Structure 1
């Protein structure tokens, strides 16, 4: 029990005792008054004397007795509380020891469970490994049944392969390898280049190459499908005959094949139109754009060649007339000339009487007027260079869409079905780049050439102007 609670209980008890003691004397004083009012008999007064008055305990004594009682109660409660705490401490120690023992047992059981899980995992791994080994052996024997059917064909049934079965399999495989590494000459039949079947001798070099010898044709053999062979090259007849006779030729042309189940066909080289045809409609569009661009490049080269070649000739023809100040003679010479340079120089000569600044502006205007002729077809060439790769990209997207449509309908089992869309996707990109790269190069080169011709025309006009002023200055000096 808490000390504060005991103090409150003690104060409450003392207060009750005090109130009781305060009320007791009042009752004792009232009693004699009632007794005095009652009639008293003479015999009673004579026989019995009045009892002695009991002295009431004082309030302090009552407090002391009550305090002593409460002190005893407090000591008893403290003793019981101490006994209870000792008993609880002992029980708590026992419980803690039991908990520690249980925790140790749990840890030990957890370790044992982990060990058991490891053993289970190792057992499962061993089972999986054994199952995989069994599957490998089964697939190996299945492959041997197809590859070594004549040399080794085990009949295992439902039982697993035993050690003697594996040993027999390897012995048979070694025998097949020895036969495959040898050169054998056997009688057989094969097809000629024209498709005729002939009988003859076949020289087999292992299982990867063969030579045929017959009176109608000899040479290297290639797979013809369904286990047959066909003549691949008649120029190797001497080599085949030498091998059949047991002689070693100087050189050994050979056609190596993996299996004779599928026919091998000669692939011809694709021409330009075959490549374009494999690109579809977009491939033909790119091809015609390339032809148009090539024609424009040739025309532009012709125009620029004429314009650049006439500059020096025009200056040589009019220089003497300009120095003498004979503008009409120079103009007559220029009328017989054609080209942008002659027109620019004519504009300068017709305005020689104007001031220098105005004359230079006239020359610049004439050059700007001739720029449209010099820049002819340049924009079209650059457009073709920009559009061609975009068309190639369009063909790529179209081909991939076609490929995915085929995959959706037929799956991916047959690669030949996918070749059409992939061919369009790749060929159009190739054609677009083939057209775009030269057009871009020639377009920029021809644009630079045109700018150089414009500079030459400006120089020629300024040269004529300077010659005119030089000639007029010498005439003034001589006068």
Structure 2
């Protein structure tokens, strides 16, 4: 019973997980009768009491630490709430001061409006005039020489402050400056972008607000970037005129190309394609048309020169029919019967016809090929037109028809191919007709002379027979 009472007292102070172990140890101790077991049991009880005391002490420390932390958290919460309340109070005060300030500002604006009266409309008109003048001179060549005036006009056009007398005088000066500089020829240093994109400081000559150029040619002014750049494509003889302008200071007048649109025409001209650009727009079909046209032109030129030379020699031979030469078709036809002693008229006629037919192919050379080229030119142009329209419809399918420039490539190919086909067909048609007429004329001469020679031989033969 003592063991069970001891176990009950220890059970109150030990954790539940040690109850079963302790219960077993106590039962084992009381069930063992030897004396040395009693001593071990005392020691065990002593250790258990010490452990229980240590655990109680640890739990007490934990409770004290928890209570201390709880108090600290409560103090911090109270402090945060106090700070929050103070911040709300300060915010309310700031809002009150802001409302008072807004009221004062509104009152001051009302008083200013009453005092200004019609003067406010005048200031608005000044700001509007400055904005309109700024948009007018933004792309002016005079601005390239005086770029600082743009910043002044921007400030005045914003209307953020009332302009003073100095501002009004400066605005009037800019109006007068633009009018005066539009009629002057001036030279100044400026940054210019050349054809390869490099920027360098050069001397620029400005002819009013209509033209500006340097030693490389005419310049264009970009209002957005405020930069001068050399035109990628110069007008005809523009560089020569620009370099000669003002070379001799003693001359009262000098010739110069001016753009009355203040650079717009020059920019449009720079975008206009050259003849070589147009040829490239024709694409592969255009190159084929040009190649065929070149071949036809070479053949036609060669045959024209040949027929011209043959015509000269034939006319010379007509004056010396009795002395045939072999350097011309007529001489060779006449010489074909010079050593022939045949008396049969049919044989003579056949031999003369053979001689004429032998000369005819060289006189009619390349004519069939030229006729084929004349017929193929428009057909190839039609092919290029169809290809260009296919490209155009493909672009419309991909990106839509909102931007006409995107469709310009296909339309240009279609039109250029048609033009190239007509360009090679029309001249070659006339040339081939001329060659045919010349060859027929020479062939007719050969037939006439051959018939005359045959008649002469027959007359001579009839005389001998008589």
Rg bigger for which structure? Answer: 1
Compute the TM-score of the two structures, normalised by the length of structure 2.
Answer: 0.48
Compute the TM-score of the two structures, normalised by the length of structure 1.
Answer: 0.47
